[in-house]
Amino acid sequence: MSPPGGEGRAAGHTPLIAQYLDIKSRHPDALLFFRVGDFYEMFFEDAEEGSGLLGLTLTSRNNGASADVPLAGVPVKAAAEYVSRLLRAGRRVAICEQLEEAAEADGIVRRDVVEVITPGTVLEDTLLADDRNNYVVAVSGTGPFGVAAADLSTGEFELRSIPTTEALLDELGRLEPAEIVVPEGSEPFTGPWLVTARPAWRFEPALGEERLRERFGVASSAGFGLRSDADAHLLSAAAAALAYLDEVRPAGVDHLRPPRVDREGGIMYLDGMTRRNLELVEPLRVGEGSSLLDLLDRTRTPMGARLLRRRVLRPLVDRAAIERRLSAVAELFEARARRAEIRRRLAGVRDLERLAARIATGRAGPRDLLGLGRSVEVLPGVQEELDDVGSPALVALRDGFDALEDVRSRIEGALDPDAPPTLKDGGVIRAGHSEELDGLRATRTNAVDVIAGLQARERERTGIDSLKVGFNRVFGYYIEVSKAKLDRVPDDYVRKQTLTNAERYLTPELKEWEARVLGAEDGIVRLETRLFQELRDAVAAEVPRVQATARRVAEIDLFAALAEVAERERYVRPELSDEPVLSIVEGRHPVVESTVARERFVPNDVTLDAGLRVMIVTGPNMAGKSTVLRQVGLICLMAQIGSFVPASRALVGVCDRVFTRVGASDNLAAGMSTFMVEMTETATILNGATERSLVLLDEIGRGTSTYDGVSIAWAVTEHLHELGARTVFATHYHELVGLADTLARAAAFNVAVKERGRDIVFLHRLRPGGSDRSYGVHVGRLAGLPPAVVGRAARILRELESGPWGVGGRGAALAERARGQLSLFEAPSARDAEEGDRLHPGLTAALERLRELDPDHLTPLEALRALAELKADLDA
């Protein structure tokens, strides 16, 4: 096979292939769907790749003097499905259409690419999820980064300045873009998105300035709050994003809204660990359990659902801004009847943002416009419900609310309420809208009536009682006579079609009336199409208004939804403070409580204040440590999103960040369980936390040996204590209970269990003090380990407990030893040197090794080797 372009061209391609190669050269990274009649054809490598991905037969096409060209094609009618499969496979597809009728063409038909469909710019409903945005994101710079995020399906366009690489990854984690655009040659950010590299010159800030001005008709980008020097990285990202949109949709994207410039000031930084561990928008194990978002999402509209998702991922850090949201929720919480009424009406609102995008891009059909009309029908009622609201956020939503009544009456005036989804059969425009159309319809009806009357007249003329006038799509109108009566058929009948039991005929009269019917129908469809397009263009001109209203509707929906959840789940409005405090009375875990019978969830109090910064929570497996820890994080985040919280009272000192770290064994996210990852994440916390942060540590240090683990946990706790960050640390290291005693602002807590006979009962109640027993053996019994194994384990446990390493002696002694290990992590000091003799670092390693030895099962040789290793440890 000869490669496309280059030498191949000289080799004498047919004009069609030459045209193909020319167009393909402008879209090297897309699969080119090249329209030939009723098919989209792929040639050369595209044919090979496409046939593989789509399971199509690979054939070949003659190419004049050159070698045959590989070919694979899909019918135009089925193209949407094939395109979606290619998109899901991470490919992009350039749609090349014939731009003139074959008959008009002088030589070869003109063709060009009318759109490039890519995962980040797709508008096909079937490829979009209702409840989340679909962004293409252009990234520029090397820190600070400029991020330009565009969602073509809704018209949203945001510019954001991001200080560091870490923050950029955080931002990409929230946006979950389908595609990112980066300069050619730059380091790609790997992730579940398609990476699109484009020439570096497209990222020129000056170009961004120019494009923003042109597209949005402003005198300067300063109108959007952009500064030409300081925001060069934003202008650069905007330049690349807009250039890319023009590339994929040459016909333009008029519905793209002016950029919202976001400087990240008021938003809490939320890293991937915390997002995952607190299961904010997705459960840890996909398909199992539910997320906070699932629980909160009682929105009634797709716009509201998308907004909620964005807000859950962007908690605020500014107390006044949070209070503003909380007041709106509180007002709708109190006003039950009003809330119910608003929600009832909103249930009838379709996806205004995506409808607007379809209308603006000329993809909307009759049902879409009807959908818009019916959606806005309910808006005056919503507006009325907001008449006398008092909270500033709701007042702002009400003032200037545009219920789009003119848009609705325009649509209603033109469209038939029962219009079919497409234009091809007519019936779209309502009677009375156009005199010309009504005239054509009357002509048709009249002709149809005449044809209907023909049956009676012909029966009479021929004496054939069973004679019928009928219609089918292929043959048109006909007169049908059964075989038995053929002898009575008059001479002027012309045979048209033979069936088993009948013959079908035409007469000159029938033919004439049929022509009138068809002529009128043709005229009707053409006129209806024109009228519909006029209507769509008229509505398209109002798209910015539709979008603005959609945005308000989303907010109203969101506030009402949060109020609704608050009532149903018995949440309370959190009190906020600028001091780094936290006081939760009878707090619950919102998701866990929704999965156990309500009365069975045990609420817990948690208080962190100036005197207590670090809580160390111990307790056996399954006691509820992780649950209480996560509920603290969730309550703070919910409050800062602007939601009520699951507690009977909550005072939340606004957190600048919430950090969570879940130790290896609790973190089942695949392939994450190395100790190195755990330490890297812990380092992130220690480097990023401030006195205003909330730090949640669940079983850190598990990924290594006990002593390493305890030591690290110990040192981390000391550090956070020093820093004064509000910290909750759940651990199975009882040694840390001793640590709590030595630190002034730390205290031990445990999640209570009760022994009943040989079983234990989980009380799920948090109480002061450490727990000092391991209930692992009991849990083993509950889990169904065979009785013999449980019995043996219980005996071993007793032996261990009474031995020199037993739990009995643990607290102080082990704490001491663990403290000795700290010298591994701290700069050596005089004191350490002094203690060196007593607690040689190698000693702990040797002891660990010794403990693992089983003399009963050692050969003499193995025993010798073990002895040598022990000595080596001590000498190390």
State in angstroms the smallest separation of the CB of 625 from ligand ADP.
Answer: 3
Q: Which does 369 bind (CB under 5 to 8 A by kind): ligand ADP, Mg ion, none?
A: none
**CA dihedral for 359, 365, 366, 370, sign (positive or negative):** negative
State in angstroms the smallest separation of the CB of 698 from Mg ion.
Answer: 6
State in angstroms the smallest separation of the CB of 591 from ligand ADP.
Answer: 10
Segment near Mg ion (CB under 5 A); pick from 75-83, 120-128, 622-630, 789-797: 622-630
Q: Which does 627 bind (CB under 5 to 8 A by kind): ligand ADP, Mg ion, none?
A: ligand ADP
State in angstroms the smallest separation of the CB of 643 from ligand ADP.
Answer: 20
CB atoms within 10 A of CB 779: 17
State in angstroms the smallest separation of the CB of 608 from ligand ADP.
Answer: 18
DSSP 828-845: --HHHHHHTTTT-HHHHH
Q: Of the two residues 195 and 572, which places its CB atom closer to ligand ADP in the complex?
A: 572
| Count of residues engaged in binding Mg ion, rule: CB under 5 A | 1
Query: Does 626 engage in binding with Mg ion (CB under 5 A)?
Result: yes
Q: Of the two residues 19 and 277, which places its CB atom closer to Mg ion in the complex?
A: 277
**What's the CA angle centered on 248, arms 246 and 254, to 5 degrees?**
50
Q: Of the two residues 284 and 813, which places its CB atom closer to Mg ion in the complex?
A: 284
Segment near Mg ion (CB under 5 A); pick from 29-37, 230-238, 482-490, 620-628: 620-628
Q: Which residue has the tokens 């009504």?
A: 438
Segment near Mg ion (CB under 5 A); pick from 120-128, 586-594, 626-634, 639-647: 626-634
Q: Of the two residues 339 and 732, which places its CB atom closer to ligand ADP in the complex?
A: 732
Window 244-303: residues binding Mg ion (CB under 5 A): none
Q: Which does 43 bind (CB under 5 to 8 A by kind): Mg ion, ligand ADP, none?
A: none
Q: Of the two residues 63 and 626, which places its CB atom closer to ligand ADP in the complex?
A: 626
Q: Which does 34 bind (CB under 5 to 8 A by kind): Mg ion, ligand ADP, none?
A: none
Shortest Cβ contact with ligand ADP: which residue? Answer: 624
Give the SS3 label for residue 75: strand
CA–CA separation, 549 vs 722, rounded Å? 50
CB atoms within 10 A of CB 67: 13
Give the residues lining the site for ligand ADP (CB under 6 A). 592, 596, 600-602, 619, 621-627, 751, 764
Q: Of the two residues 376 and 662, which places its CB atom closer to ligand ADP in the complex?
A: 662
> Where does 570-694 have alpha helices with state H?
590-595, 625-641, 675-688
Instruction: Confirm if 382 and 345 have CB atoms less than 8 A apart.
Output: yes
- 614 token code pair: 């670090």
Residue type at position 424: K
> Where does 135-266 have alpha helices with state H?
165-175, 205-216, 232-248
Instruction: Confirm if 190 and 206 have CB atoms less than 8 A apart.
Output: no
H/E segment holding residue 501: none
- Chain centroid, CA 70 distance in Å: 38
Which residues are CB-contacts of 596 (< 8 A; sequence separation ≥ 6)?
none
State in angstroms the smallest separation of the CB of 622 from ligand ADP.
Answer: 5
State in angstroms the smallest separation of the CB of 662 from ligand ADP.
Answer: 10
Q: Which does 71 bind (CB under 5 to 8 A by kind): Mg ion, ligand ADP, none?
A: none
Q: Of the two residues 211 and 764, which places its CB atom closer to ligand ADP in the complex?
A: 764
Segment near Mg ion (CB under 5 A); pick from 609-617, 618-626, 684-692, 841-849: 618-626
Which residues are CB-contacts of 154 (< 8 A; sequence separation ≥ 6)?
133, 303, 306, 353, 354, 356, 357, 547
CA–CA separation, 616 vs 704, rounded Å? 20
Going by the DSSP 8-state scheme, the letter that residue 78 receives in this structure is: G
Shortest Cβ contact with Mg ion: which residue? Answer: 626
Q: Which does 600 bind (CB under 5 to 8 A by kind): ligand ADP, Mg ion, none?
A: ligand ADP
Q: Of the two residues 599 and 799, which places its CB atom closer to ligand ADP in the complex?
A: 599
- Across-strand partners of 147? 139, 160
**What's the CA angle centered on 46, arms 43 and 51, to 5 degrees?**
95
Q: Of the two residues 275 and 630, which places its CB atom closer to Mg ion in the complex?
A: 630
Which residues are CB-contacts of 786 (< 8 A; sequence separation ≥ 6)?
none
Chain residues binding Mg ion by CB under 5 A are 626
